[in-house]
Copies of this chain bind each other. A is one copy, B any other.
Amino acid sequence: MDKGTATNMFESLSSGIRLDIVRLLVRYGHEGLVAGELAETLELPRTNLSFHLKTLTQAGLLSVTQEGRYQRYRANLDAMRDLVAYLTENCCAAEADGCVLPVARNCAG
């Protein structure tokens, strides 16, 4: 992952609303949610939600597919993993210094 991609993703995750969107979509996995469901769940005006969804999608953190007149959004788990890897590699590469990261578990919850 290049630096620009990483900073775009970090910027996307720097908004509480967008972090909520991502966490919600991650919980829904491959099923995802359509825009209207997201707006209802998060109690956001549609235009505002649309703005944040666009930001997240452009950053690569979400994917979107059209289903008739609905837009279904899904979290991009590959991107998440890449971002975690980037953070691990670039921000924890010092001389041993007690730098032991937590081992990732499987995601059964």
Contacts and interface: CB of A to CB of B under 8 A. Distances in A.
Interface of A: 3-4, 6-8, 10-11, 13-16, 19, 22-23, 26-30, 75, 77, 80-81, 83-85, 87-88, 90-109
12 contacts: A10-B13, A26-B91, A30-B97, A75-B91, A77-B92, A80-B91, A80-B92, A88-B102, A95-B109, A99-B106, A101-B107, A103-B104
A13 B109 CA distance: 27
Contacts of A75: 91, 94
Q: Per DSSP, are chain A's interface residues mostly helix, strand or loop, or mixed?
A: helix
Contacts of A105: 88, 101
B93 A109 contact: yes
